[in-house]
Amino acid sequence: MKISVIQMNSQANKAENIAQALRLIADAVKEDRPDIVVLPEMFTHLGGSLEQRRAAAEEIPGGEAYRALQDAARRHKIVVHGGSFYERAPDGYFNTTVAFGPDGKELARYRKIHLFDVTTPDGREYKESATVGRGDQLVTYKVGDVTVGCSICYDLRFGELYRGLAAKGAQVIMLPAAFTLQTGKDHWEPLIRARAIETETFFCASAQVGPHAQGNDTRYTWGHSMIVDPWGHVVAQASDGQGYATARIDLDYLEDVRQKIPVHQHRVLGS
């Protein structure tokens, strides 16, 4: 199995962002022939005003982004792990991932559990809970014999979520993200490698990169989309700017790591 993590610079124009995503998916498929592609967090709309973000939200199933991901999965005959986008539901708005199989059918739907309510070291305040509601379900899905776990961005800091996904059998974990520049430069790679090591999974992190206008402010995301193996090695990483990185997922290697260091058998606390 091969997986490509897509790196984007989404702005406040939904149609242009969807076009960017479809172009990068097509490029990755043409060059690297992946079985799965992973888009970043909020790939359809990043920045802009709260009114613009909510106007870009979609009911699920249906909607422009939902149909575009379905069509891409069918056209390329791949699994599309749809990063995340704003979901409009009867009980509010959510930051939601939807994954599609090669036939275009929905495989999974995950609402982000941990919301980013933080003031970063550069003094910028982020309060995601003012924009979207909190999910409450751990989600995995199957791609053939492989179990895939779902997470989004700030979830990365909460190891208990990933222990839960590992307990549900996850062998590959997806992390669509829009990690800030200030936190990403110091925390992004160490946290990803730690999560891969402690769960003994392949960890696929697909990120936003660069500047994003928000009102009179410009905010920056870190990028550095990467795939890390169960030993904690970075096996693929995107360059700066829009693009993608691809790696082969070797389940024999995963099982070898788990046999050599069987942490799942040794856990005492929280087991």
Catalytic residue among 14, 87, 150, 153: 153
Q: Is 153 a catalytic residue?
A: yes
Q: Give helix 64-76 / helix 14-32 axis angle, nearest 10°.
A: 10
- Best CA proximity match to 9, nearest among 258, 252, 206: 206
- HSE of 111, CA atoms in CB hemisphere, 13 A: 16
Q: Is 204 a catalytic residue?
A: no
Catalytic residue among 14, 41, 87, 204: 41
Q: Which residues contact 197 (CB under 8 A, 6 or more apart)?
A: 230, 231, 232
Catalytic residue among 87, 112, 150, 204: 112
Q: Is 142 a catalytic residue?
A: no
Asked whether 83 and 42 are in contact (CB, 8 A), the reply is yes
Q: Which residues of 216-229 are buried (b: 16+ CB within 10 A; e: fewer)?
A: eeebbbbbbbbbbb
Distance CA 217, CA 73 (A): 36
Active site residues: 41, 112, 153
